[in-house]
Structure 1
Amino acid sequence: MAESAAMTGMPRNQDEWERAARALLDDGQNFLAHDVCRDGLRYFPNSFKLAIFGAIALSQTGAVDEARRLLAPVLDAILIDEGPFRRLQSSLKRAVLALDQSHSDDALEAMAELAEAMEMVRGKKLEADADAETYNALARVFREAWLASGARSDLEHCRQLFLRAFAVGGNARDGIDAAIMSVMLGDMPQAQTLAARVNDLLAHGEIDPTLTADIRYRMMATLGQAQLLLGETEAAIGTFQWAHALEGVHYGRVVSALKQIELLQQGGVPVPAELADVVKPPTVVVFTGHALDRPGEGPHFPPALEAVVRAEIAKQLDELNAQIGYSTAACGADLLFIEAMLERGAEVNVVMPFAIDDFIAEDVRYGGPRWEMRFKNALKLAASVTYATEERFLGHEMLYRFANQCLHGLATLRSGFLRTSPYLLAVWDMMPGSLVGGAGDFIDQWEDISRLRIIDLDNLLTQNPELCPDGPAMPNLDFGGAADDDEEGQGRVIRSMLFCDIAGYSKLKEEHIPDFLDFLSRLKDGLAASGIEPKSINTWGDAIFVVMDKATPMAEYALTMQEVVARLGVEMKDRLTNPLTLRISLHAGPVFEAIDPIRNNKNFYGSHINRAARLEPVTVIGHVYATQQFVAVLTAEQSAMRTEAVNNGAPFEDKYISEYVGVLSLAKDFGKQTVYHLRRRSLGENAMPAAMETVVPAMLEAADNSGITETPATSVGSVLETVARMMERSETEPPKRKGGRKSKTPTAHDVISLADGETLHWPGT
């Protein structure tokens, strides 16, 4: 386990443990927060706050089933189980009908059943004691669980919690959420009843003009959704047009409204086509461009052409209404794009192909001090700076191509969350023989020509001959060898890697080793059935290391491995008393491929091997996790496969979902890594919005959803403190078991003790 407490020293009391867990959740350190909760509960087993934080951390790592189990005590405390009351109603009806048969066995049986039913409801009440914020927060947790699992029980819990939030707080947003969940459950009458109440709350009052644009937009979007549910399509269009006219609305609010509309449409609610032009997602633009000419080169992009190129880039961004951009940051077109995006107030995300000092030396400094200063300013103002690799350049051009893959994948992944597709804007001289990772190479890899915009450098030079007296450069027709051959010759290549640890191996005794070897043999057979052949595979005891050329077959291999082991756990439970499960981590990056001087076989070396290995020990057992680089490459590959299938008239379905987890501190002080949870897309989930939001932002927004009267955003702590107080109160009134016997109120430690069983594993156990 990562030494979670070492970050700030060992917490001394319960409050410090709880604050440490909450701070880690706020910081996106979900795995560490999870470890802190587990460790803290060993000292303070009655801290339900730690139990709840731990469940939230689990849900954010993609371990939905485990999180659902850990939230069960919270639901038991604040949700009323209506089952006993319904049984009492049924038993009473049967008993009344049996009154005329006082001497029959049926009558006696009916009366006995009635007595048992009455005993089950003794001490129970139909009113739950929780506030709207608590209901709202937990409803959002179960909505994310439903979006990930498709389980109807999660959807029913979600609706029930939103209904209770609406009943307690009267907030319009809770009402519309409950209505939409009712639509997804097929309960249209209740959905329309709720929509009518929301409409009454919002349609007949004035919206305070002093509220922020985001709050007013959210309120109007809520009203528009209610009008759609009531069949008032013209009124809904007018409401959304009114919301669209607001200035300063963050695109996240628009995307949120778009998701709600999509759910309504999936539930069979008529949605007018005109709304597509009113509720529009933000435009995402990926950029690739020619660098400024180096001394003695060109002319491709002479310095004198800077103002002309800048104007063309600004023009294209205006036409696209660009709001989010992805680019590298070489001097020349890249930095002009970044500056143009910043000038229009748009979001910029920079991907660095390798170590920053090497990048400055290779791609910035030759332009002069002015360009170096602009580069540093661009990175300072960027919304994010991501490294395809933090290692040195070492003269390997293929790192530029890898950076392009990361750009492509990250932009596509983000666009999918925002319900759109990215554009590629390129500043290119239209000449063949492009460098590996250059603009022409990126264009060759871009699959959707309809979303490609090219600024022709050659044409700009022709239109401005005074800026380039020598005319455009002649095309380079010497293509040289294939890029893959170049990579192989250099010994440094881009590969996908899998590290796997078999949890439970250390508990095996000597007499179990033959069974373990049989387990490995069956695992091999199960993997062979997938038809995927790794480029390299190696084992060390309970560790497995796999290397492949591409990310897509590696994803399939990893998920198949997980599924085979789950099946073997059932088949071999009589032979392996301690069930064997897997920790699996995936990564992609540049590695050195060479013949091992000792073993004389192909092997792989470099820091990215270590990075893949350091991710595996600190993840949740039974799930597959991947680095941002792997997910970016996988997304780019899937996008290309989709376009190829469409062009050939063939069907294509995305097989995988990558859910953002957060930033994970790697084992052995190996730095931090952005991590995603990888799973298969469930049946029918193509039409379902991906659950990309994390749970903590949902908790933070719980108090925002107040309909007409908006309240300030609350903190994670203030929401969960309510739950904790409620759980403390519940200890004074223990719940009843069947038959009326009192049961001991479960402590948080009782919940966490599931970690020692077969149904739940915590990191490090």
Structure 2
Amino acid sequence: MFDREQVAALIRRGEILAAYDIAHAALEAGEDAREIAYTAVLCLARAGAVDFARAEYVRLGLADADDHADAVALGARLLKDVALAARGPRRIAFAKASLRRYEALSRRFGGLYGAVNAATLALVAGDRAGAAARASAVLATPPTPGLEGEGAYYDAASRAEAWFLIGDQDAARETLAAAMASAPSAYAAHASTLRQLEMLCRETGVDPDWLAPFRPPLCAHFTGHITSLPEDALRQRIDRVLREQRVGFAYGGLAAGADILFAEALLDAGGELHVVLPVSLASFVEVSVAPFGEDWVPRFERCLARATSIRYASQDPYRGDEQVFAYSSQFAMGCAVLRAETLSTEAIQLAVWDGYVAPGPAGVSADMAYWRGSERRLAVIEVQRPPPCPSRWAAPSARDERRAMKAMLFADVQGFGALRDDQIPAFIEGVMGRMAETVEGLAEPPCHIETWGDGLFLVFDRPIDAALAALALLEAHRTLDLKALGLPRGLGLRIGGHYGPVHLRTNPLTKAPAVIGAHVVVAARIEPDVAPGSAYVSEALAGALATFHGDRVRCGYVGRTQGRKGFPATPIFSLSRAL
């Protein structure tokens, strides 16, 4: 039975896929209610499966539900999503279609939401005069009495958008300030408004720097040495950097020394601490906390208890491979960038550094070098100390060259298992043949390929190459005329992706190259949870893409995988091209 409160709670927490599963199961069980259908399609839209969401919107009868305000608003939003992702005549056509739906919503149900979105879509469609006229009507609407909190916020934010559309940036700034004062901690709501205004800045050619004062606190990645420097002086410098940089959220490890000092300072300032550990908890304490003084362990435990979240790059014990520490730091950096994007704010790295470049793959200097590749801000607290002792890191030539960082894709076609035997040849030639053509045409092809039935396993050296391959495969599949091939129209390509260290070996049975390891399993566990016609990626892959390639691809949080066969649920993100 469809539990409305449970589903609403899941959506508020961002667990979109779990909410969709409940709604979809209710529909499959024969529960026929517009609210259930609306919930299912809303979840698909938020999960980035826009094409599938539009098809389901029609199939489930929501396109004809003109007396259901949420259904009308959802239909307008789906058309808006298509318009903003398109160019040329297609963009204009979908913008006008979305505008009509928003106007219908406003006429029938009132409120500012439909009216201000209609004004915005008029601008997207190229009608600046029409946008200004509609925005003026929004501003002429009397405020709703008694609004508080987020209700008051959205009313004022809509008016700020309208002021911007008529060209009065000063009034937009003043109204937006009043909006945020009514709900100062509603960061998700703020981010939605900021993204909308950023889009309007692109449409009008206005410099978006005017939005800077309204952005939430910064998201930081912190890194530092295990150091015995006087704590009071270092803590004061850390406090000052956190304050000057307006850091409210931070991601990093929790080793003895600078890491724990960063964490304690952030928590004392009221910020959110997110811990990313490279190995199992007990092993991390044994290697990176306990050996450096008996008082570090209780401080570590206190910070861990107050952390908002704890992630593990690996649950394995430490076996001497420093690659896991490098991977953990990169994972934490990616998490900081993703959170900054979600909040529509900036990501920054904070480092306590002694000026020495470590010889191995991990450490403060390696973290800084990786971060600098993103061209984001870096705040360094320089410390003086003697040259470090010879590192425990093995020389690069001594490391196992059969272990490497790779980006992986698993793909399959939903509905393949229900095909008749006489449809298999058409599937192999038409569907799998198109996949082969697409892979062969990639500018950066995979370094490893495996396939079975409708399944595909592709391995790439770089995260961006995997992302572009996934998008190319999805786009190629959408162009297929499945009906002409004699195949069901519901055959939907699903792609799951991950990034992490893997083992490069030779299969003893086939003598062929093999890519194996725990991180391959992570990639495989994502694919069954993907909505048809979509690509979802792990937090590690999404973070790497966001850190370096935000101008080419976008990754939006959609929820968590279902925990299966003892594997924990993990965060996943939808993959799309950047607008």
Q: Bin the TM-score by the shorter chain.
A: 0.7 to 0.9
The corresponding residue for 1:350 is 275
The verdict on how the C-alpha distance between 1:246 and 1:562 changes in structure 2, with shifts beyond 3 A counting, is: closer
The corresponding residue for 2:436 is 524
The verdict on how the C-alpha distance between 1:411 and 1:530 changes in structure 2, with shifts beyond 3 A counting, is: same
Does residue 423 (structure 1) correspond to residue 363 (structure 2)? The answer is no
Pairwise CA distance, 1:380: 3.1
The corresponding residue for 2:223 is 288
Does residue 543 (structure 1) correspond to residue 468 (structure 2)? The answer is no
Contact 1:288/1:427 (CA < 8 Å) preserved in 2?
yes
From 314, 328, 331, give the equivalent of 2:256. 331
- In 2, distance between residues paired with 1:180 and 1:290? 50
Contact 1:30/1:664 (CA < 8 Å) preserved in 2?
no
Tell me the C-alpha RMSD between the 2 structures: 3.6
Equivalent position amino acid for 1:335 in 2: I
Contact 1:663/1:675 (CA < 8 Å) preserved in 2?
yes
Equivalent position amino acid for 1:372 in 2: V
Query: Structure 2: 5+ residue runs without aligned partners?
Result: none
Does residue 561 (structure 1) correspond to residue 473 (structure 2)? The answer is yes
From 181, 185, 194, give the equivalent of 2:134. 194
Contact 2:198/2:208 (CA < 8 Å) preserved in 1?
no
Contact 2:545/2:553 (CA < 8 Å) preserved in 1?
no
Does residue 473 (structure 1) correspond to residue 398 (structure 2)? The answer is no
Percent identity of paired positions between Structure 1 and Structure 2: 27
The corresponding residue for 1:228 is 164
Once the two structures are superposed, residues 65-108 of structure 1 have per-residue CA deviations (whole angstroms, 9 ceiling, x without a partner) of 221232236554443xxxxxxxxxxxxxxxxxxxxxxxxxxxxx
Equivalent position amino acid for 2:562 in 1: S
Pairwise CA distance, 1:505: 4.1
Pairwise CA distance, 1:288: 1.2
- In 2, distance between residues paired with 1:289 and 1:424? 11
Pairwise CA distance, 1:399: 0.9
- In 2, distance between residues paired with 1:411 and 1:139? 32
The corresponding residue for 1:596 is 507
Equivalent residues in 2 for 1:108-147, closer than 5 Å: 129-130=67-68, 139-140=76-77, 143-144=80-81, 146-147=83-84
Does residue 676 (structure 1) correspond to residue 565 (structure 2)? The answer is no
Contact 1:365/1:372 (CA < 8 Å) preserved in 2?
yes
Equivalent position amino acid for 1:536 in 2: H
- In 2, distance between residues paired with 1:233 and 1:535? 51
Equivalent residues in 2 for 1:697-708, closer than 5 Å: none
- In 2, distance between residues paired with 1:285 and 1:656? 22
**Greater relative contact order (Cα 8 A, min sep 6): structure 1 or 2?**
1
Pairwise CA distance, 1:167: 4.0
Equivalent position amino acid for 1:656 in 2: V
Equivalent residues in 2 for 1:14-93, closer than 5 Å: 25=11, 28-44=14-30, 46-72=32-58, 75-79=62-66
Query: Which protein shows a greater Rg?
Result: 1
Once the two structures are superposed, residues 695-742 of structure 1 have per-residue CA deviations (whole angstroms, 9 ceiling, x without a partner) of xxxxxxxxxxxxxxxxxxxxxxxxxxxxxxxxxxxxxxxxxxxxxxxx
Once the two structures are superposed, residues 632-671 of structure 1 have per-residue CA deviations (whole angstroms, 9 ceiling, x without a partner) of 22333426xxxxxxxxxxxxxx332222211120444532
The corresponding residue for 1:647 is none
Does residue 495 (structure 1) correspond to residue 430 (structure 2)? The answer is no
The verdict on how the C-alpha distance between 1:164 and 1:375 changes in structure 2, with shifts beyond 3 A counting, is: farther
- The DSSP-based 3-state class of the residue aligned with 2:574 is strand
The verdict on how the C-alpha distance between 1:250 and 1:488 changes in structure 2, with shifts beyond 3 A counting, is: same
The corresponding residue for 2:380 is 454
- The DSSP-based 3-state class of the residue aligned with 1:363 is helix
From 94, 98, 111, give the equivalent of 1:171. 111
Does residue 185 (structure 1) correspond to residue 111 (structure 2)? The answer is no
Does residue 611 (structure 1) correspond to residue 531 (structure 2)? The answer is no
The verdict on how the C-alpha distance between 1:137 and 1:488 changes in structure 2, with shifts beyond 3 A counting, is: same
Equivalent position amino acid for 1:284 in 2: C
Question: Please, which moves more after superposition, 223-232 or 390-399?
Answer: 223-232
- In 1, distance between residues paired with 2:37 and 2:181? 44
Question: Please, which moves more after superposition, 275-284 or 321-330?
Answer: 275-284
Equivalent position amino acid for 1:655 in 2: R
The verdict on how the C-alpha distance between 1:358 and 1:145 changes in structure 2, with shifts beyond 3 A counting, is: farther
Pairwise CA distance, 1:234: 4.2
Equivalent position amino acid for 2:194 in 1: L
Once the two structures are superposed, residues 219-278 of structure 1 have per-residue CA deviations (whole angstroms, 9 ceiling, x without a partner) of 54444333333344444444456667789454445434433433333343x858883454
Q: TM-score, normalised by structure 1?
A: 0.66
Equivalent position amino acid for 1:413 in 2: L
Q: TM-score, normalised by structure 2?
A: 0.85
The verdict on how the C-alpha distance between 1:225 and 1:564 changes in structure 2, with shifts beyond 3 A counting, is: closer
- The DSSP-based 3-state class of the residue aligned with 1:552 is helix
Equivalent position amino acid for 2:367 in 1: F
- In 2, distance between residues paired with 1:287 and 1:402? 15
Equivalent position amino acid for 1:488 in 2: D
- In 2, distance between residues paired with 1:21 and 1:233? 39
Once the two structures are superposed, residues 565-601 of structure 1 have per-residue CA deviations (whole angstroms, 9 ceiling, x without a partner) of 445x43x865554566533211122333323333333
- The DSSP-based 3-state class of the residue aligned with 2:117 is helix
- In 2, distance between residues paired with 1:593 and 1:438? 25
- In 1, distance between residues paired with 2:209 and 2:560? 40
The corresponding residue for 1:708 is none
Equivalent position amino acid for 2:218 in 1: T
The corresponding residue for 1:656 is 553
- The DSSP-based 3-state class of the residue aligned with 1:665 is coil
- In 2, distance between residues paired with 1:574 and 1:223? 50
- In 1, distance between residues paired with 2:515 and 2:558? 28
The corresponding residue for 1:635 is 546
From 360, 363, 384, give the equivalent of 2:309. 384
- In 2, distance between residues paired with 1:330 and 1:313? 16
Query: Structure 1: 5+ residue runs without aligned partners?
Result: 1-10, 80-128, 292-300, 459-471, 640-653, 686-765
- The DSSP-based 3-state class of the residue aligned with 1:313 is helix
Pairwise CA distance, 1:509: 5.3
The verdict on how the C-alpha distance between 1:361 and 1:527 changes in structure 2, with shifts beyond 3 A counting, is: same
- In 1, distance between residues paired with 2:456 and 2:208? 52
The verdict on how the C-alpha distance between 1:148 and 1:228 changes in structure 2, with shifts beyond 3 A counting, is: closer
- In 2, distance between residues paired with 1:233 and 1:558? 40
- The DSSP-based 3-state class of the residue aligned with 1:488 is coil
Equivalent residues in 2 for 1:721-736, closer than 5 Å: none
Contact 1:285/1:423 (CA < 8 Å) preserved in 2?
yes
Contact 2:374/2:548 (CA < 8 Å) preserved in 1?
no
- In 2, distance between residues paired with 1:233 and 1:437? 47
The verdict on how the C-alpha distance between 1:358 and 1:492 changes in structure 2, with shifts beyond 3 A counting, is: farther
- The DSSP-based 3-state class of the residue aligned with 1:430 is coil
- In 1, distance between residues paired with 2:185 and 2:232? 31
The verdict on how the C-alpha distance between 1:239 and 1:217 changes in structure 2, with shifts beyond 3 A counting, is: same
Equivalent position amino acid for 1:618 in 2: D
The verdict on how the C-alpha distance between 1:564 and 1:225 changes in structure 2, with shifts beyond 3 A counting, is: closer
Contact 1:228/1:271 (CA < 8 Å) preserved in 2?
no
Contact 1:389/1:590 (CA < 8 Å) preserved in 2?
no
Pairwise CA distance, 1:538: 2.0
- In 2, distance between residues paired with 1:638 and 1:218? 32
Contact 1:615/1:667 (CA < 8 Å) preserved in 2?
no
Contact 1:224/1:240 (CA < 8 Å) preserved in 2?
yes
Equivalent position amino acid for 2:516 in 1: Y
Question: Please, which moves more after superposition, 331-340 or 220-229?
Answer: 220-229
The verdict on how the C-alpha distance between 1:433 and 1:311 changes in structure 2, with shifts beyond 3 A counting, is: same
